[in-house]
Amino acid sequence: MAEETILQSTERTSGREALRKNVQAAIALAGAVRSTLGPKGLDKLLVDDSGGTLVTNDGVTVLESARVEHPAAKMIISASSTQDRVARDGTTSTVVICAEMLRNAWQLVRQGVHPATIGRGFALAEKFSLESLNEIAVKASSEQILSAIETSLAGKLDLSMEKHLAKLSFAAGELVHTEGRADPTRVKVIKQSGGSMLDTTLITGLALAKSCIHPEMKERGGPGSILLLDGGLERKQPKFETKLNITSTGMLDAFRKAESKALLTQIDNIVNIGCDLLVCKEGVDEEARQELANRGILTYRRVEKNDLDLLSRVCGANLAPDAGRATKDDLGAFIKTREELRGGINYWILDAEDSGATLITRGSTDVILDEVERCFADGLGVACQLLEEPLLLPGAGATQVALSRRLRRHAESVPGREQMAIEAWADALESIPRALAENAGYDGINALLKLTAAHNDKGDFIGLNLETGEPTDTISRGVLEPLKITRQAISGATEAAISILRIDDVLWAQMGAQVPDEVQQQLQGFGAE
């Protein structure tokens, strides 16, 4: 059977042409975000289908918002998304390095080097570089961790807000850092319109925009027990239409008394199991409110399901389906609880053993609030990484140049054409300092040459001062980045590049609408008369 018959309605690109188009797509993708790299990077204005706008220089946000159809480009975007999920920073670097690797690989292919050979060389270069990173890394102090967080936020907001968010991120990271692990999911973010970005505050504990259901309820300072109810304390509504024939007032009173008795029975059970604080997903009847207040049980209602899940985590409580069937095993524990008025909104704040923290973001528009939330998430991610693994690398292109120098010396000991691939991989790393310099308004090649010469004289910690364009010591300036970010960026970029190099055939299925034959015949005769 002929190949054309099998691959009917399929566009095929194979061999060197397939690689060329894949490399072209990667370079185009990197070109879309390259200008956002570094503290001097420029912003992108994103407009969605509904006309909504977003101004950001976060690489992964730009890429995930774009409509990308090319499969190779999607692979690189996936690597960038993984970088964001794992390291919270370095997303643009991953794309830029990967694209440069593929550009250099294409030049080797044109010289007759097989893609498989290039892939082996890239893998060797990655392995050597990851080992070398440990030699360059330094133990981080608290001040250096804060500096690294500020570096990760550089260029995303104005300087004062970057410093403010960096401090809040570090403080939040310390609150959720226990037993050698920092869990960023224990930090809740509440967006509150109005005020300035600098009014953004961090609260110790879990905060919800709620007030207790009855003014007579006394705040329990704690400690105490908490019950989470996946429902409410309300008279049951029939699930289907029913008609009650009331023949006397006595029947109506009896019906109401039965309902009240059912509510009181549930409250009795809540009291008997030792509940001090009740949190309900749904409402609480007026009668139940008064009774709970009389029994001294602090109660909150209409709490969203995701907040209930978070309360369950931090307090160690089970989500009880019914108050009447709740047991002591369903109870959790809290340390203290309080209410505070912030920005005209009353917040209920609960402290538990693993309650973490709550960030209340402030800003004049929803766009600003979203950007502050996104930047805080990045800063918090960096803080958590460094609290778990307090190892830092020099920033401002210093690490990339140091690795390139080491790789070129290492390549001399590698026989075969893999040596050429290692050198091409080393060249790709240098795209980072070049891009940093270009985004700051300097000549990328000249800046790279200065930086390389400075490394020969002064060692691995010399990076580019983007204010002057001259090489300077990054440690003294506090321009540092977590080891985990660079390690993940190198691995992600290399894996994506090797995967694309292994592709020698691209098959595009034509997804046009198929018209049945009988309908087609009718259409052909339409309008003949």
Which sequence positions are flagged as catalytic?
58, 91-92, 378
CA dihedral 255, 256, 259, 261 (to 10 degrees): -100
Quick check: 169 and 382 in contact, CB under 8 A?
yes
Beta-bridged to residue 12, according to DSSP, are: 507
| DSSP result, 354-368 | T--EEEEEEESSHHH
Q: How far apart are the first and last CA of the chain?
A: 42
Residue with tokens 């009847």: 285
Residue 135: strand, helix, or coil: helix
How far is Cα 402 from Cα 24, in angstroms, rounded to an integer?
Answer: 28
Quick check: 349 and 340 in contact, CB under 8 A?
yes
Find the length of the chain: 529
Quick check: 470 and 454 in contact, CB under 8 A?
no
Q: Which two tokens stand for residue 283?
A: 């409402």
Burial class (CB in 10 A: 0-12, 13-18, 19+), 517: exposed
115 upstream amide cis, omega within 30 of 0: no
Which contiguous run of DSSP H or E holds residue 432? helix 431-439
Residue with tokens 């990851």: 130
25, 39, 152: which is closest to 95 by C-alpha? Answer: 25
Residue 118: strand, helix, or coil: helix
Which contiguous run of DSSP H or E holds residue 139? strand 138-139
157, 39, 89, 63: which is closest to 380 by C-alpha? Answer: 89
How far is Cα 485 from Cα 475, in angstroms, rounded to an integer?
Answer: 17
Residue 457 makes CB contacts below 8 A (sequence gap 6+) with none
Torsion sign over Cα 78, 81, 86, 92: positive
Burial class (CB in 10 A: 0-12, 13-18, 19+), 47: exposed
Burial class (CB in 10 A: 0-12, 13-18, 19+), 68: middle
Q: Which two tokens stand for residue 367?
A: 């766009």
Q: Beta strands of 9-155 (E only): which ranges?
A: 10-14, 44-47, 53-56, 138-139
289, 306, 324, 311: which is closest to 225 by C-alpha? Answer: 311
Cα R_g (the chain), whole angstroms = 31
